[in-house]
Amino acid sequence: MDKYLYLAMNGAAQAMLAQQSNANNLANVSTVGFRATLDSFESQALTGPGFPDRVYVADRAAGADFSPGPITSTGRDLDLAIDGDGWFAVQAADGGTAYSRRGDLRLDPAGLLLNGADQIVLGEGGPITIPQFESLVIGRDGTISVRASGQAANTLVAVDRIRLANPPLETLYRGEDGLFRTRDGLEAPADAAVTVTAGALEGSNVNPVDAMVRMIDYARFYEHQVKLMKLASENDAASARLMRMSG
């Protein structure tokens, strides 16, 4: 009976973990450049004395869905969408370099370039600071050029170049802060082949319909496991009654 109960309990716990991951995907349906989390269930043997015949299920994070999200034209100078593969290099909270597809950029009062999550966008020499300007243009290679106040309309000065990288996807993992990093901890080199489109944003690649269907499936699976635990308890109580009667 304890085997029955253990397996049902484990199934319910893993369904809850998968539901949490799916709920996070749903919460980020509107997040710019978000990559959905993928989950998979694996059968695992339970090791230890007396347990060779037990197998339990484990929810294993299978990584991220790296398929592109939809591109929307905004016309805003500081909105960028990466063309195809590639990443913006940003500064994580710990000071290290991480990678994001989020291109909704803005300037803080000091002229520091940030994305929509308030993460510092990195350039060729580190954080990018843009001086006061009348107009700003970002080229396909990420070069930021500005026309200073009082300058001729055709006078543009390159300020910096956004660091665009394209590390192999199999070398990336998502941290708890939602940013991607290389597994070896090394910075990916800038890749001149990565280009951007200004005045556009890449949306989340989460399919809300699929996520809602998964939410229902996980909820039903969880309810089924709870019913099995209740059945195990009822069977155990019935067995105890029979033992008392036979005694």
Closest to 188 measured CA to CA, from 168, 161, 174: 168
Q: What is the 3-state secondary structure (H, E, C) of the chain?
A: CHHHHHHHHHHHHHHHHHHHHHHHHHHCCCCCCCCCEEEEEEEEECCCCCCCCCEEEEEEEEEECCCCCCEEECCCCCEEEEECCCEEEEECCCCCEEEECCCECEECCCCEEECCCCCEEEECCEECECCCCCEEEECCCCEEEEECCCCCCCCCEEEEEECEECCCHHHEEECCCCCEEECCCCCCCECCCCEEEECEEECCCCCHHHHHHHHHHHHHHHHHHHHHHHHHHHHHHHHHHHHHHHC
What size, in residues, is the chain? 247
Tokens standing for 97?
């370099």
Q: Which amino acid is at 178?
A: G
Closest to 64 measured CA to CA, from 25, 90, 103: 25
Determine the Cα–Cα distance for residues 36 and 209; give it in Å rounded to an integer: 13
Q: Cβ contacts of residue 62 below 8 Å, gap of 6+?
A: 38, 39, 40
Residue listed under structure tokens 């590390």: 167
Backbone phi, psi, residue 49, to 5°: -60, 130
**What is the per-residue pLDDT for 160?**
96
pLDDT tens profile 2-11: 676 777 777 7
pLDDT tens profile 98-120: 999 999 999 999 999 999 999 99
Tokens standing for 42?
């694996």
pLDDT tens profile 57-97: 665 666 899 999 999 999 999 999 999 999 999 999 999 99
Mean pLDDT calculated for residue range 173-197: 95
pLDDT tens profile 211-246: 999 999 989 988 888 888 888 777 767 676 777 776
- Find out whether 225 and 11 touch, Cβ atoms under 8 Å: yes
pLDDT tens profile 24-65: 999 999 999 999 998 876 666 666 665 555 665 665 666 899
Q: Which amino acid is at 30?
A: S
**What is the per-residue pLDDT for 10?**
76
Q: Cβ contacts of residue 143 below 8 Å, gap of 6+?
A: 158, 160, 161, 162
Question: pTM of this prediction?
Answer: 0.81
